[in-house]
Amino acid sequence: MAKVLGVLGGMGPLASAHFMLRLTLLTPAERDQDHIPAILWSDPRVPDRTTARLAGGEDPLPVLLRGIAGLEAAGCGAIAIPCNTAHGWHAAMQAATPLPILHIVTATGDELNRLGVPPGRIGVMGTSATLAMRLYQQGLEQGGWDCLVPEPAEMAELVTPAIALVKANRVTEAYAPLAAMAERLVARGAGAVVLGCTEIPLGIAAGPALPFPVADSIDALARAAIAWARPR
């Protein structure tokens, strides 16, 4: 039987839907039956991950574990989570299930290698919590990349409002501030920019392509899921 991928989503709903689209488009297929069976558990009731980590908000772990249990019961063989900040709870989620939970930071490191980005300075854009938890800084330094991140004022002015625009379905409005931030990171010496929040690739895709390498964490996770399902 074909491996069934579980997708723990809803963080946000549009990012989860886009992950399913990219999973489909990136899968080599000639017909319906060539695609990867997948079950999307999209639960937008998961408490905000950034608020939980930085402001003492409600813990999202119980709701995340409920979704994992549902995917496990549905017969999934692995789980992908198209939300970068949720990976701050990756260890606790992995401890609760025998299913492998694909790690989005590891997948993005693989994507940087696929793009031919050499070791050195790269930019990382993400939520305040993702950057504060140093998920990418710690995960990518093992590959020789030195992560350059936005300043707090730039997060407040450009990145955080743009993420909120995507979550509000105002995707086209998010392009200008996100592109401006990416360009600033490159001007400071970044050889590539990691889109380390699954809302950010949607905003960047709403305008002209950026003239430097960009590692899309949604595509990275989709490729990792395909490699799990089709290891050959």
Topology classification of domain 5-103+220-229: Rossmann fold (3.40.50)
CATH topology of domain 105-217: Rossmann fold (3.40.50)
Q: What is the full DSSP assignment across the chain?
A: ----EEEEE-SSHHHHHHHHHHHHHHS--SSGGGSPPEEEEE-TTSPPHHHHHHH-----HHHHHHHHHHHHHTT-SEEE---SGGGGGHHHHHHT-SS-B--HHHHHHHHHHHTTPPSEEEEEE--HHHHHTTHHHHHHHTTTEEEE---HHHIIIIIHHHHHHHHTT-HHHHHHHHHHHHHHHHHTT-SSEEE-STTHHHHHTTSSPPSS-EEEHHHHHHHHHHHHH---
- Boundaries of CATH 3.40.50.1860 in the chain? 5-103+220-229, 105-217
CB of 194 within 8 A of CB of 114? no
| pLDDT of the chain, 232 residues: tens digit per residue | 579 999 999 999 999 999 999 999 999 999 999 999 999 999 999 999 999 999 999 999 999 999 999 999 999 999 999 999 999 999 999 999 999 999 999 999 999 999 999 999 999 999 999 999 999 999 999 999 999 999 999 999 999 999 999 999 999 999 999 999 999 999 999 999 999 999 999 999 999 999 999 999 999 999 999 999 998 7
Q: How many CA atoms lie within 13 A of 208 on its CB side?
A: 6
